[in-house]
Structure 1
Amino acid sequence: MAKEFSRTDRLADALQRLLAHALQFEVRDPRVGMVNINEVVVSRDLSYAKVYVTFVDRDTDQQRQEALHALNNAAGFLRSLAAKQLDIRVTPRLQFIFDETSTRGQALSNLIDKAVASDRAHHSDESSDE
């Protein structure tokens, strides 16, 4: 019988839960603010983990970059917390990456809404002309 999840998937899930808790209660850097962890991707050899994050209260690109820099500076501390709580031989090095999918999705949704509204206005103008 095959395993449902690979070891990398299980480790990624455990890291995501642990990091979410640690970022909320352990990291006290005011530059970080509120962070959502969208996904954790662990390399096949379990030595690296890419942590994709979004920031709730950071609107400008400069604020996001400062928060991302603060997170990457705290990566060693977070890795040591993970090493203490997870029972694994090698704790992955953490790399935090800003995930732009939500902002890009919102921008695309706005473009679609504008196109639909423009199309409706165009069709209503044609029907009133007849």
Structure 2
Amino acid sequence: MSHRPERLAEAIKQEVSDLLRDEIKDPRIGFATITGVDVSSDLKYAKIHVSILGNADVRGQAMTALKKATGFIRTELGRRIRLRHVPEISFKLDESLDHGDKVLKLLDEVSSNDA
């Protein structure tokens, strides 16, 4: 077993976070956070999990903007990470933070009803 996919996933996460913060100026992206990256064992594909602050409409616009910027992001990854073949990247909306927030609200509601 190689640790290379894990190391590449962490490098991609760091570089894409830097790109979103510093390089990409599209206002539709807003408050997007890279929560994780899954890289296939053959290093050909990378799925980037993104958490976006806002309602469903804002998230949809941000995902559209990210998909439109995929070519630029992939080109920059190739320059910054120095790979022979840069993986094909895709973005996936990560809704786990919303789910956790919903669970916390339900727990607070239950505890306030008991008191």
The alignment partner of 1:54 has SS state of strand
AA paired with 1:25? D
Structure 1 residue ranges without an equivalent (≥5): 121-130
TM-score scaled by length of structure 1: 0.83
Give the structure 2 partner of residue 22 of structure 1: 19
**Cα displacement string for residues 38-80 of structure 1 (whole angstroms, at most 9, x for unaligned residues):** 0011111111111111123xx2101101101110110111000
1:42 matched to 2:39? The reply is yes
AA paired with 1:38? T
Residue of 60, 64, 68 corresponding to 1:69: 64
Cα separation, 2, equivalents of 1:44 and 1:65: 30
Cα separation, 2, equivalents of 1:81 and 1:63: 25
1:102 matched to 2:97? The reply is yes
Cα separation, 2, equivalents of 1:113 and 1:27: 38
Runs of 4+ in 1 over 6 A off after TM superposition: none
Alignment RMSD, CA only? 1.4
**Cα displacement string for residues 80-109 of structure 1 (whole angstroms, at most 9, x for unaligned residues):** 000011121111111111110000100011
Cα separation, 2, equivalents of 1:99 and 1:66: 15
TM-score scaled by length of structure 2: 0.93
Query: % of aligned pairs identical?
Result: 33
1:55 matched to 2:77? The reply is no
Larger Rg: 1
Q: Which has the higher contact order (CA 8 A, sep 6+)?
A: 2
Once the 2 structures are TM-superposed, how far is the Cα of residue 119 of structure 1 from its aligned partner?
A: 2.1
- How many residues in Structure 1 have an aligned counterpart in Structure 2? 115
